[in-house]
Chains A and B, each alone.
Chain A
Amino acid sequence: EVQLVESGGGLVQPGRSLRLSCAASGFIFDDYVIHWVRQAPGKGLEWVSGISWNGGTVGYADSVKGRFTISRDNAKNSLHLQMNSLRPEDTALYYCAKVNDYGDYIDFWGQGTLVTVSS
Protein backbone atom coordinates (compact mmCIF):
# COMPACT_ATOMS: atom_id res chain seq x y z
CA GLU A 1 0.00 0.00 0.00
CA VAL A 2 1.36 3.41 -1.02
CA GLN A 3 1.86 5.77 1.92
CA LEU A 4 3.17 9.31 2.16
CA VAL A 5 3.41 10.71 5.67
CA GLU A 6 4.30 14.35 6.13
CA SER A 7 5.77 15.80 9.31
CA GLY A 8 7.53 18.88 10.60
CA GLY A 9 4.72 21.40 10.50
CA GLY A 10 3.88 23.74 13.32
CA LEU A 11 3.60 27.34 14.46
CA VAL A 12 6.54 29.55 13.52
CA GLN A 13 7.20 33.27 13.62
CA PRO A 14 7.63 35.30 10.43
CA GLY A 15 11.20 35.26 9.19
CA ARG A 16 12.02 31.94 10.86
CA SER A 17 12.67 28.55 9.27
CA LEU A 18 11.02 25.16 9.23
CA ARG A 19 11.92 21.83 7.64
CA LEU A 20 9.18 19.53 6.40
CA SER A 21 9.67 15.85 5.75
CA CYS A 22 7.72 13.22 3.85
CA ALA A 23 8.25 9.52 4.57
CA ALA A 24 7.36 7.23 1.68
CA SER A 25 6.54 3.54 1.64
CA GLY A 26 4.78 0.97 -0.49
CA PHE A 27 6.51 1.89 -3.76
CA ILE A 28 9.99 2.21 -5.20
CA PHE A 29 10.65 5.75 -4.01
CA ASP A 30 13.65 6.52 -6.20
CA ASP A 31 11.69 5.78 -9.38
CA TYR A 32 9.34 8.73 -8.93
CA VAL A 33 9.08 12.49 -9.25
CA ILE A 34 7.65 13.93 -6.02
CA HIS A 35 5.99 17.30 -5.45
CA TRP A 36 5.02 19.57 -2.59
CA VAL A 37 1.59 21.17 -2.99
CA ARG A 38 0.05 23.50 -0.43
CA GLN A 39 -3.44 24.67 0.45
CA ALA A 40 -4.05 27.80 2.49
CA PRO A 41 -7.02 27.59 4.87
CA GLY A 42 -10.25 27.67 2.87
CA LYS A 43 -8.38 28.17 -0.41
CA GLY A 44 -7.38 26.15 -3.45
CA LEU A 45 -4.34 24.07 -4.31
CA GLU A 46 -0.98 25.64 -5.12
CA TRP A 47 2.06 23.78 -6.42
CA VAL A 48 5.15 24.65 -4.38
CA SER A 49 8.03 22.53 -5.64
CA GLY A 50 8.96 19.33 -7.42
CA ILE A 51 12.00 17.08 -7.69
CA SER A 52 13.01 14.41 -10.17
CA TRP A 53 13.86 10.84 -9.19
CA ASN A 54 17.54 11.56 -8.66
CA GLY A 55 17.28 15.18 -7.56
CA GLY A 56 18.86 16.38 -10.79
CA THR A 57 15.84 18.48 -11.74
CA VAL A 58 14.04 20.71 -9.26
CA GLY A 59 11.43 23.39 -9.69
CA TYR A 60 9.84 26.05 -7.52
CA ALA A 61 6.84 28.31 -7.61
CA ASP A 62 7.80 31.97 -7.98
CA SER A 63 6.22 32.62 -4.58
CA VAL A 64 8.83 30.47 -2.81
CA LYS A 65 11.84 30.65 -5.12
CA GLY A 66 14.98 31.62 -3.23
CA ARG A 67 13.41 30.82 0.14
CA PHE A 68 12.48 27.12 -0.10
CA THR A 69 14.74 24.19 -1.01
CA ILE A 70 13.50 20.74 -1.94
CA SER A 71 15.67 17.66 -1.51
CA ARG A 72 15.35 13.91 -1.27
CA ASP A 73 17.20 11.03 0.35
CA ASN A 74 16.48 7.95 -1.72
CA ALA A 75 18.36 5.71 0.71
CA LYS A 76 15.87 6.70 3.40
CA ASN A 77 12.79 6.99 1.17
CA SER A 78 12.30 10.55 2.30
CA LEU A 79 11.58 13.98 0.83
CA HIS A 80 12.29 17.30 2.50
CA LEU A 81 11.34 20.93 2.14
CA GLN A 82 13.58 23.47 3.84
CA MET A 83 11.55 26.65 4.28
CA ASN A 84 13.42 29.82 5.19
CA SER A 85 12.29 33.43 5.65
CA LEU A 86 8.75 32.30 6.24
CA ARG A 87 5.89 34.73 5.68
CA PRO A 88 2.30 34.77 6.94
CA GLU A 89 1.16 33.94 3.39
CA ASP A 90 3.06 30.64 3.62
CA THR A 91 0.47 29.46 6.15
CA ALA A 92 -1.06 26.33 4.64
CA LEU A 93 -1.46 22.59 4.74
CA TYR A 94 1.54 21.16 2.89
CA TYR A 95 0.98 17.95 0.94
CA CYS A 96 3.60 15.58 -0.38
CA ALA A 97 2.42 13.99 -3.64
CA LYS A 98 3.87 11.37 -5.99
CA VAL A 99 3.41 11.17 -9.71
CA ASN A 100 2.47 8.19 -11.84
CA ASP A 101 4.81 5.70 -13.45
CA TYR A 102 5.43 7.96 -16.44
CA GLY A 103 6.38 10.96 -14.38
CA ASP A 104 3.56 13.31 -15.20
CA TYR A 105 0.32 13.60 -13.25
CA ILE A 106 -0.01 13.32 -9.46
CA ASP A 107 -1.69 10.03 -8.59
CA PHE A 108 -1.37 9.94 -4.81
CA TRP A 109 -1.31 12.49 -2.00
CA GLY A 110 -0.28 12.35 1.64
CA GLN A 111 -2.56 13.74 4.32
CA GLY A 112 -0.55 16.93 4.79
CA THR A 113 1.22 18.82 7.58
CA LEU A 114 0.02 22.22 8.73
CA VAL A 115 2.37 25.19 8.76
CA THR A 116 1.22 28.35 10.53
CA VAL A 117 3.33 31.48 10.23
CA SER A 118 2.29 34.04 12.82
CA SER A 119 3.77 36.24 15.51
Chain B
Amino acid sequence: EIVMTQSPAILSVSPGERITLSCRASQSVSSNLAWYQQKPGLAPRLLIHGASTRATGIPARFSGGGSGTEFTLTISSLQSEDFAVYYCQQYDRWPLTFGGGTKAEIK
Protein backbone atom coordinates (compact mmCIF):
# COMPACT_ATOMS: atom_id res chain seq x y z
CA GLU B 1 0.00 0.00 0.00
CA ILE B 2 1.25 3.47 -0.91
CA VAL B 3 1.25 5.78 2.11
CA MET B 4 0.44 9.43 1.45
CA THR B 5 1.68 12.02 3.94
CA GLN B 6 0.46 15.61 3.93
CA SER B 7 1.99 18.61 5.67
CA PRO B 8 1.27 20.71 7.53
CA ALA B 9 -1.84 19.37 9.24
CA ILE B 10 -3.15 22.88 9.85
CA LEU B 11 -2.37 26.18 8.13
CA SER B 12 -3.54 29.38 9.82
CA VAL B 13 -3.67 32.05 7.16
CA SER B 14 -5.22 35.38 6.31
CA PRO B 15 -7.35 36.02 3.21
CA GLY B 16 -5.20 37.09 0.28
CA GLU B 17 -2.18 35.08 1.37
CA ARG B 18 -0.43 32.56 -0.85
CA ILE B 19 -0.23 29.06 0.58
CA THR B 20 1.50 25.85 -0.45
CA LEU B 21 0.40 22.43 0.77
CA SER B 22 2.69 19.42 0.53
CA CYS B 23 2.00 15.78 -0.16
CA ARG B 24 4.52 12.96 -0.20
CA ALA B 25 4.07 9.40 -1.46
CA SER B 26 5.96 6.47 0.05
CA GLN B 27 6.81 5.30 -3.48
CA SER B 28 6.51 6.79 -6.92
CA VAL B 29 3.00 7.36 -8.23
CA SER B 30 4.21 9.10 -11.41
CA SER B 31 1.70 11.92 -12.00
CA ASN B 32 -1.29 9.90 -10.80
CA LEU B 33 -2.13 12.31 -8.04
CA ALA B 34 -5.36 14.20 -7.33
CA TRP B 35 -6.26 16.98 -4.90
CA TYR B 36 -9.69 17.37 -3.33
CA GLN B 37 -11.26 20.15 -1.32
CA GLN B 38 -13.79 19.37 1.40
CA LYS B 39 -15.93 21.84 3.30
CA PRO B 40 -17.89 20.95 6.46
CA GLY B 41 -20.94 18.80 5.77
CA LEU B 42 -20.15 18.43 2.08
CA ALA B 43 -18.64 15.74 -0.11
CA PRO B 44 -15.11 16.24 -1.41
CA ARG B 45 -14.71 18.17 -4.66
CA LEU B 46 -12.04 17.43 -7.26
CA LEU B 47 -9.59 20.29 -7.73
CA ILE B 48 -6.57 18.83 -9.53
CA HIS B 49 -5.82 15.59 -11.36
CA GLY B 50 -2.71 14.37 -13.12
CA ALA B 51 -0.79 16.28 -10.42
CA SER B 52 -1.19 19.61 -12.22
CA THR B 53 -4.39 19.70 -14.33
CA ARG B 54 -7.22 21.78 -12.91
CA ALA B 55 -10.62 20.14 -12.98
CA THR B 56 -13.47 21.78 -14.85
CA GLY B 57 -14.57 25.02 -13.22
CA ILE B 58 -11.68 25.29 -10.77
CA PRO B 59 -10.27 28.83 -10.54
CA ALA B 60 -6.78 29.58 -11.83
CA ARG B 61 -5.58 30.53 -8.32
CA PHE B 62 -5.33 26.76 -7.65
CA SER B 63 -2.26 25.09 -9.09
CA GLY B 64 -0.67 21.70 -8.60
CA GLY B 65 2.87 20.53 -9.15
CA GLY B 66 5.28 17.68 -8.68
CA SER B 67 5.69 14.11 -9.82
CA GLY B 68 7.00 10.84 -8.48
CA THR B 69 6.84 11.18 -4.71
CA GLU B 70 6.68 14.92 -4.01
CA PHE B 71 3.65 17.08 -4.79
CA THR B 72 2.33 20.53 -3.97
CA LEU B 73 -0.94 22.39 -4.13
CA THR B 74 -0.65 26.17 -4.23
CA ILE B 75 -3.43 28.69 -3.77
CA SER B 76 -2.08 31.99 -5.01
CA SER B 77 -4.43 34.31 -3.08
CA LEU B 78 -6.66 32.66 -0.52
CA GLN B 79 -10.32 33.64 -0.77
CA SER B 80 -12.89 33.25 2.01
CA GLU B 81 -14.44 30.28 0.23
CA ASP B 82 -11.10 28.46 0.18
CA PHE B 83 -11.01 27.81 3.92
CA ALA B 84 -11.47 24.06 3.93
CA VAL B 85 -9.66 20.75 4.26
CA TYR B 86 -7.50 19.59 1.34
CA TYR B 87 -6.67 15.97 0.61
CA CYS B 88 -4.21 14.46 -1.82
CA GLN B 89 -4.88 11.00 -3.22
CA GLN B 90 -2.87 8.64 -5.39
CA TYR B 91 -4.63 6.62 -8.05
CA ASP B 92 -1.56 4.94 -9.51
CA ARG B 93 -2.69 1.61 -8.08
CA TRP B 94 -5.24 0.05 -5.81
CA PRO B 95 -5.75 0.41 -2.92
CA LEU B 96 -6.37 4.08 -3.57
CA THR B 97 -4.85 6.00 -0.69
CA PHE B 98 -5.41 9.47 0.70
CA GLY B 99 -3.25 11.80 2.72
CA GLY B 100 -4.43 12.78 6.17
CA GLY B 101 -5.49 16.24 5.00
CA THR B 102 -4.42 19.85 5.51
CA LYS B 103 -6.89 22.24 7.07
CA ALA B 104 -6.66 25.85 5.91
CA GLU B 105 -8.16 27.95 8.68
CA ILE B 106 -8.58 31.67 9.18
CA LYS B 107 -5.84 33.27 11.25
Binding site for B on A (CB under 8 A): 35, 37, 44-47, 50, 59-62, 95, 99-100, 104-112
Contact = CB atoms under 8 A, between A and B. Distances in A.
Output the residue of B50, B87, B94 with the most chain A CB within 10 A: B94
B87 A107 contact: no
Cβ-closest 8 pairs across A and B: A109-B43, A47-B96, A59-B94, A45-B98, A105-B34, A105-B49, A105-B91, A104-B91
Contact of A106 (B1, B34, B97, B99): B34
Interface string B94-107: 11111111000000
B95 A59 contact: yes
B30 to A, nearest CB: 11
Contact of A105 (B46, B87, B100): B46
Contact of A46 (B50, B91, B98): B98
Mostly, the A contact residues are strand
Mostly, the B contact residues are loop
Interface string B72-107: 000000000000000101010011111111000000
A44 B87 contact: yes
Contacts of B101: 44-45
A7 B99 CA distance: 27
Contacts of B89: 45, 105-106
B32 interface: yes
Nearest to A59: B94
B91 A112 contact: no
Contacts of A50: 94, 96
A112 B44 CA distance: 11
A46 B98 CA distance: 7
A61 B94 CA distance: 9
A101 to B, nearest CB: 11
B55 interface: yes
A79 to B, nearest CB: 16
